[in-house]
Structure 1
């Protein structure tokens, strides 16, 4: 009987009938660039947002790299990253020379996305590159204006099945700086809207967060994140965490 058992075990091992080993490539750490360079209005929240987002990236098992150097936008450099988080990375709307994604840098970013790179835009990432139409088209919209201050507004999740919204309440109040978006891509997957009446504005719902694809790449944007308090708010962090996971096509989270 012992000889038979040893023979059976040998056969099972040779024929691959033992328990399959996990494909460890599925769990490979991704490299995420956190980019917060500004030539326009600079948000005070960037100072706390960079370490908070770095922690969030690490908690997902990935490697964060934070920089404010536009020269990183080369074909060779971007090959070393899987995702780019544009963190309130503004330019001056009145000064075309303030735009840093031009020429070969612009070409490198667009190629990065078309080949499958992920983009996450946070808050004033849409307040940027007004003289480069391709940028608003890539992101899915562009900042137009905001009412004064940071009033409390009411948000509605329009797509609760999405990774970026499934862990936050479908309707909730929030204090933030509220962006009215122009050049919104109607083909984008709308995730969250603001009721303008809740902040004393008129008209239909304002797009606040959405997701879209470009070539093989995925783009997630949220207009939230003006305040420093955002980066310790569990709902906001869950929103960004889910958006990044979706953009990376990371099915584990």
Structure 2
């Protein structure tokens, strides 16, 4: 009887750990820059809460040396407001090899901006080239793909304040648009003196996904300031993109054509 009770107590002590097994692990690169630094503690805290809620882990770093080692243990790499240009040539090659082997990536806001032709492979991974962009304004974000996980927590027309990046497609990359923005809801030409920003028209993607090498890539250009990383709808958008990039699951089936 005593042995039975001891075995039961041992199993109860071990059970919480087994129930809390991590589903996957992320590498998050978040380096402070001139315009993006205050978001770091907020985004990290919010990601910790998401990790506890959804049973995953992450390594948070502001050092590119994390790209020197074995990346295969990570289900995805998150470039959090930090573009790939920060990686040195050897680290770039290591990341490319990771994607060729089936790794995945999430690109957030400033991470989509990289100097033209500095690392063409990374520009292709992002899928679009970001040029100058209008000032932060309040506008209407529109859901382009309501069957994609990064839209599940959002209304079809969402009032949001951000820098709505304008982009070009010099490498003719096919992307799947997740969110767009209604340019009639803000001023696409409102920009700093000496710069010019032109509207993109009806086709103005601000979040998208596509396949790169053997991996999945989710890009959201939203997320300029720190308070955004406390917003439940923005975090649902980000988590939906992470979930899809890591698993490839969650997208609603496309209705059959008749």
TM range (shorter): 0.7 to 0.9
Of 156, 170, 182, the residue aligned with 1:195 is 182
- Separation in structure 2 between the aligned mates of residue 133 and residue 248 of structure 1, nearest angstrom: 24
Deviations 1:135-184 (A, max 9, x none): 11012123212212x21111111100011112211112111122112337
Deviation at 1:252, TM superposition (A): 7.4
Question: What does residue range 1-253 of structure 1 map to in structure 2 within 5 Å?
Answer: 29-38=23-32, 41-74=35-68, 76-90=69-83, 99-130=85-116, 131-148=118-135, 150-183=136-169, 186-201=173-188, 202-205=199-202, 206-249=204-247, 251=249
- Separation in structure 2 between the aligned mates of residue 53 and residue 155 of structure 1, nearest angstrom: 23
- Separation in structure 2 between the aligned mates of residue 227 and residue 28 of structure 1, nearest angstrom: 29
Change (3 A) 1:232 1:195: same
Deviation at 1:102, TM superposition (A): 3.4
Deviations 1:19-58 (A, max 9, x none): xxxxx9xx75211111112566434222311221232233
Deviation at 1:251, TM superposition (A): 3.9
Change (3 A) 1:181 1:57: farther
Contact 2:30–2:80 (CA under 8 A) maintained in structure 1: yes
- Separation in structure 1 between the aligned mates of residue 104 and residue 51 of structure 2, nearest angstrom: 13
Change (3 A) 1:40 1:137: farther
Deviation at 1:129, TM superposition (A): 4.7
Contact 2:128–2:173 (CA under 8 A) maintained in structure 1: no
- Separation in structure 1 between the aligned mates of residue 134 and residue 41 of structure 2, nearest angstrom: 24
Secondary structure of residue in 1 paired with 2:222: coil
Change (3 A) 1:126 1:252: closer
Structure 2 unaligned segments of length 5 or more: list them: 1-17, 189-198, 252-258
Give the aligned CA root-mean-square deviation in angstroms.
2.3
Structure 1 unaligned segments of length 5 or more: list them: 1-23, 92-98
After alignment, is 100-109 or 187-196 more displaced?
A: 100-109
Contact 2:112–2:130 (CA under 8 A) maintained in structure 1: yes
Secondary structure of residue in 2 paired with 1:145: coil
Secondary structure of residue in 1 paired with 2:44: helix
- Separation in structure 1 between the aligned mates of residue 93 and residue 159 of structure 2, nearest angstrom: 40
